[in-house]
Amino acid sequence: MAADFLFGSPFRRLFHARPFPAVEWSTSGTAAAMDWVETPSAHVLRINVPGLGKDDVKVQVEEGNVLTIRGAPPARKEKEDEEERRDGTVVWHVAERGKPEFARAVALPENVRVDGIRAGVENGVLTVVVPKEPTPARAKPRPIAVHSKL
Instruction: Return the domain boundaries, the chain.
Output: 18-131
**pTM, 2 dp:** 0.64
| Degrees, nearest 5: CA angle 86-89-90 | 85
Pick the closest to residue 131 from 108, 107, 114 (CA basis): 114
At 6, the amino acid letter reads L
pLDDT of residue 1: 46
pLDDT in tens, the chain (150 residues): 444 444 444 544 444 444 333 345 444 445 689 999 999 999 999 999 888 889 999 999 998 889 999 998 877 655 566 666 666 777 777 767 666 688 999 999 988 999 999 999 999 899 999 999 987 767 778 888 888 777
CATH annotation of 18-131: 2.60.40.790
Residue 121 has a pLDDT of 94
Backbone angles phi, psi at 84, to 5 degrees: -65, -40
Question: What is the structure's pLDDT at 145?
Answer: 82
Question: What pLDDT score was predicted for residue 63?
Answer: 87
Burial of 102 (0-12, 13-18, 19+ CB in 10 A): buried
pLDDT at 16: 41
Residue 8 has what pLDDT? Answer: 47
